[in-house]
Amino acid sequence: MSLLEVEGLCVDFGRRRVPAVRGVSFSLSEGERLGIIGESGSGKTVTALAVMGLLPETARVRGSIRWRGGELLGRAEKELATLRGNAVGMVFQEPMTALDPTMKVGRQVAEVMLLHRETAGAAARPQVIAMLGDVGLTDPERIADAYPHQLSGGQRQRVIIAMALVNGPDLVICDEPTTALDVTVQATVLELLDRVLTAERAACLFISHDLAVVSQVCSQVLVMLDGEVVEAGPTSKLFTSPTHPYTRGLVATARLDLVNPGERLPTVEDYYALGAGQ
């Protein structure tokens, strides 16, 4: 049985029913990693938030989202809250804003743990310190007692990853986890994600606009454009023989090593006229 099955997911917003996601389907089995790739506004994040049940109230969601065979759509908020942070963890895009500036980071990690386990507050600390160490933070004792503004972007993103993983989730949703980081930090955070996901044997839904980043973490990829899936398949196949012109454009822009020196760099528009439809 699949861990997560999404079928015909449609989301629209507001009174004018602006569609954000149109008929997205995919499934994810235990330990599998699926990348969702697409540009801003293609519906990647909305899809992720729909799975978490965290869309604003103005959103209308149709279709089906099943967790271990059980339908999530229409489930009571209380039942969803027991899944969130426990069976499903989420890593956010902006390390600068995804941590509460008024709370020490150690406590923020502990909160996630205490919400789902019957551990006394004091007993949580050693586990929090261990978790912070696991995500590669040196001197986790000091970091636990620091406020977010005292940490660097990379450190904060590691803390956010620790928050998502502290309860040993079966699925981790990563929403552009490295976009806000510079390239060198990006590489180490990706390695870290790869390592902890393997260690926890957690499945992963990895959202990014960067094909190169996705290919580092995921074996399967979904390409989204204007709220629809235009192409899906194994990462290697997508790289070697993309079928949709938009995907061809993405691959070309990700493979700059194939460009001869002096030539103009390719853009997606060379392959696919954005906004013009097919």
**Helices 153-165/183-200 angle, 10° precision:** 10
For residue 213, the minimal CB distance to another protein (Å) is 20
| Contact pattern for another protein over residues 53 through 92, marking x by CB under 8 A | -x--x-----------------------xxxxxx--xx-x
Q: Which of 9, 36, 46, 99 binds another protein (CB under 8 A)?
A: 99
CA distance 49 to 56: 9
Q: Which is nearer to another protein, 9 or 163 (CB)?
A: 163
For residue 224, the minimal CB distance to another protein (Å) is 20
Applying CB under 8 A, the span of 110-118, 122-130, 192-200, 255-263 interacting with another protein comes to 110-118
Residue 160 engages another protein in binding (rule: CB under 8 A): yes
Q: Which is nearer to another protein, 22 or 107 (CB)?
A: 107
Residue 102 engages another protein in binding (rule: CB under 8 A): yes
Q: Which of 30, 39, 94, 228 binds another protein (CB under 8 A)?
A: 94
Applying CB under 8 A, the span of 16-24, 97-105, 123-131, 200-208 interacting with another protein comes to 97-105
SS3 for the chain is CCCEEEEEEEEEECCCCEEEEEEEEEEECCCCEEEEECCCCCCHHHHHHHHHCCCCCCEEEEEEEEECCEECCCCCHHHHHHHECCCEEEECCCCCCCCCCCCCHHHHHHHHHHHHCCCCHHHHHHHHHHHHHHCCCCCHHHHHCCCHHHCCHHHHHHHHHHHHHCCCCCEEEEECCCCCCCHHHHHHHHHHHHHHHHHHCCEEEEEECCHHHHHHHCCEEEEEECCEEEEEEEHHHHHHCCCCHHHHHHHHHHCHHHCCCCCCCCCHHHCCCCCCCC
Residues 6+ apart with CB under 8 A from 183: none
Q: Which of 69, 74, 101, 126 binds another protein (CB under 8 A)?
A: 101
For residue 216, the minimal CB distance to another protein (Å) is 24
Q: Which is nearer to another protein, 66 or 107 (CB)?
A: 107
For residue 92, the minimal CB distance to another protein (Å) is 5
Residue 93 engages another protein in binding (rule: CB under 8 A): yes
Residues from 124 through 153 that contact another protein (CB under 8 A)? 149
Residues in contact with another protein by CB under 8 A are 49, 52, 54, 57, 81-86, 89-90, 92-94, 97-103, 111-112, 115-116, 149, 160, 163-164
